[in-house]
Amino acid sequence: MVLVRNLRPPTEGVRHEEANTTAVLSGQQLGCGTLYVAETRLSWFDGSGMGFSLEYPSISLHAISRDVSAYPEEHLYVMVNGKLEKAAEEEDDDGSDSSNGDEEEVITEIRFVPRDKASLESMFSAMCECQALHPDPDDEDSDNDFEGEEYNVEEADGMEVDAAVAEAGQFEDADVEH
């Protein structure tokens, strides 16, 4: 996957734009630039137009890190599925992809360090909103899916309800209290 290359920043669906943000890729500082949290992707660009964009399904985790023992400054931490590298390093001399075909899942850590630390909360919130627009289709823990058996209250409590006793419309004039 290509990381640093000449791209244009997003213009539509930008939820947050943070200038003066340093990007650190797997411990290597890429420089100071602008972070764009857009509805379709997360992008960062330096002053020369070089940068990268990440699609939300490739982002497995994002968080605000305030632990200065792990990294010397507070930052937005992003974990990406796959190996990211500079475009010049991605291809071997023969033009082939430099990955060696390992089946082991590789992750890349990116740290976005804004000059204005007070903006970390809004950066994180914008990412949460945009990430929610791209749910993981393989997520088995989704709250929207119910794959178990239905819970029958009558069977569980040992109660039986005689349908013949209930009269049609008997609750139409009941007061509703909320």
Q: What confidence tens digit (pLDDT) does each residue in 83-97 have? A: 876 544 444 444 444
- C-alpha–C-alpha distance, residues 3 and 84, integer Å: 6
* Domain-wise residue ranges, the chain: 2-88+104-132
pLDDT at 5: 77
Q: The whole model's pTM is what?
A: 0.69
Q: Mean pLDDT, to the nearest integer, of 78-87?
A: 79
Name the residue with tokens 């994180």: 124
> CA–CA separation, 172 vs 20, rounded Å?
63
* pLDDT digit string, tens, across residues 110-162: 999 999 999 999 999 999 999 999 987 776 654 544 454 555 555 555 555 55
Question: What is the CATH T-level fold of the domain 2-88+104-132, as seen in this structure?
Answer: PH-domain like (2.30.29)
On average, the pLDDT of the chain sits at 79
